[in-house]
Chains A and B, each alone.
Chain A
Amino acid sequence: MRKLVSIVLLAGFIFYFATLTGGLMIPSASDERSSVGLDILSRTADETGSANAVTSVVVLYRGFDTLGEVTVLFLAALGISVFMKSTGGVRKKALDQSFILKTGSRLLFPLMFLFGIYIITHGHLTPGGGFPGGVIIATGFFVVLLTSESVEFNKTVMSVLEGLAGLSFIGLGLVGLFGPDNSFLQNFLPLGDFNTVFSAGIIPIIYAVVGIKVAAELSSVVFAMKESK
């Protein structure tokens, strides 16, 4: 039975490998299917002021989808927290890891935090943005948590940050309703100089808000999982 499963998996991988190498050979032609992408690429610099076309699609052209994604993540984090809290019990005395691991993780944490902030604030210039940056910050918290278990975090601050970030995302979108176009999540701020940090209107603000929200949510998920017993 086990060998059969392995053979089926192997065949699947070989099929995947064959289609992948075959698909990579096809050059991307400018036919009707790819014209949307070309259109966005040619218009994004003038319309949104964002140097990263992917970010302009995620935050502005498909901003409503991003709001939905943030909501899904919020509900998942809420579910995990409620589930983990309901199975709570007596906690054992916390044990710390060795001194080298503890010191190393505390050295690593500020660097990871800074890198996460860089990824978030440069989301409209270089690859990255709110989601990966938030995950990097949350992973930095986890590195500290894994090595020194006696560290306690303030959960109230996390919840307040998360709620404020979510509210300001929706608030920024609602302000767009009173702008010239009367549309939700409209870019109502001036676009600024192309390819500088303070440019592209509301895109960096929205990505900062998304980054704070994702970082706070995932950190509290990790805390909840760590504290439950």
Chain B
Amino acid sequence: MLYLLSFLVLVMLCVGIAIIFVKDILSAVILSTVVSLIVSIIFLFIAAPDVAITEAAIGAALTAVVFVIAIKRTKIKETADKE
């Protein structure tokens, strides 16, 4: 149990560091949802399924939604300015 949790936290740490170094913003957003998903799995293992569901829905889905809309909007404006 402890080894599993340690492994999950280690993966989360690696993904978290990767977010800083990734060049593409969209990839960074997707990596941050991966962090949220791992957090929700950890919540599930430490017997907090309610928190896990909320974290998966809000952290992984809705936060990514808001970021994706922001990226989409700004990119459209950038290409429009160039033309």
Contacts and interface: CB of A to CB of B under 8 A. Distances in A.
Nearest to A127: B49
Interface in A8-60: 9-10, 13, 17, 20-21, 24-25, 52, 54-55
Q: Bin chain B's interface residue count.
A: 20 to 34
B20 A119 contact: no
Interface residues of A, number: 31
B17 A6 contact: yes
Contacts of B2: 21, 24-25
Interface in B3-62: 5-6, 9-10, 13, 16-17, 20, 46, 49-50, 52-54, 56-58, 61-62
A226 interface: yes
A86 B15 CA distance: 38
A127 B61 CA distance: 18
Nearest to B60: A139
A24 B46 contact: yes
Contacts of A119: 53
Interface of A: 6, 9-10, 13, 17, 20-21, 24-25, 52, 54-55, 92, 119, 127-129, 131-132, 135-136, 138-139, 142, 146, 218, 222, 225-226, 228-229
Given A25-B2, A127-B50, 12 more contacts: A6-B17, A20-B9, A21-B2, A21-B9, A24-B2, A24-B46, A55-B50, A92-B76, A136-B61, A222-B65, A225-B66, A225-B73
22 contacts: A6-B17, A6-B20, A21-B2, A21-B6, A24-B2, A24-B5, A25-B2, A52-B50, A55-B50, A92-B76, A127-B49, A128-B50, A128-B53, A131-B57, A132-B56, A132-B58, A136-B57, A138-B62, A139-B62, A142-B65, A218-B62, A226-B69
Interface of B: 2, 5-6, 9-10, 13, 16-17, 20, 46, 49-50, 52-54, 56-58, 61-62, 65-66, 68-70, 73, 76
